[in-house]
Amino acid sequence: MKSGVFFWIGRTTAATVVALAMCSAWAVDPDVAFHIQTRKSEVTPHCAAALKRAGSLTTQQSLRKALCWLYGIGTPPREVEALNLLRSIAPDSAAAKMALADALQQGTTEQQKQAVEWYTNLAASGDVRAIARKARLQQRLDAQKAVEATTVVTDAADPFADPFSGDDSLPPGYHCHFYGLGKKVCHGIGFD
């Protein structure tokens, strides 16, 4: 009996982790993570010179400076300034648009919505990476919205009350949680 419970809990936990990763704000698209690492490797040798430049910069120089600020290479991270600089050069640079969208994808829900807009802009020019990234990010945002719509609010008088305590189908000592994509996971305190 115990091994069956562990098997059920193990499979459910693995599914829960996958579901949370798909819809949570901290989830990073593996393709995006790879390209961020590639960008860091490419810009690192240029950061010392890029950070010293001031005044009128070319689009390429501005992109390098923004990436150095964004990733904190040779300087403490300056995310706000980096995103603003990327926004200012994005109309003239597909690389800046992609870097901006990738950075925004890792931010708040509002920033992720902005990332969808930038990916849409890039996709309109035929960038297949942007098409795929937009689709995956939009799917995560939709899933997150669905989860937020099904969130159970506990009684204000007792914020620690178990909202599932009235579920008569559960054995004594068991309780349930809702996770990403509307998944419900129930478990007990002990396995005896």
**Enclosing domain of residue 74:** 29-105+108-149
Both 15 and 44 in one domain: the answer is no
Q: Which of 69, 125, 74, 53 is nearest to 95 (CA)?
A: 125
In DSSP notation, 133-171 reads HHHHHHHHHHHHHHHHHTPPPPPTT-TT--TTTT-TTSP
For the chain, how many structural domains are there in total? 2
Residue 83 belongs to some domain of the structure: yes
Backbone angles phi, psi at 123, to 5 degrees: -65, -35
Both 47 and 71 in one domain: the answer is yes
Q: Which of 156, 146, 157, 154 is nearest to 181 (CA)?
A: 146
What stretch of H or E contains 23?
A: helix 2-23
Residue 155 belongs to some domain of the structure: no
Residue 144's pLDDT band (cuts 50, 70, 90):
confident
For residue 60, give the CATH number of its domain: 1.25.40
pTM (predicted TM-score):
0.66
Both 189 and 99 in one domain: the answer is no
pLDDT digit string, tens, across residues 59-117: 999 999 999 999 999 999 999 999 999 999 999 999 999 999 999 998 999 999 999 99
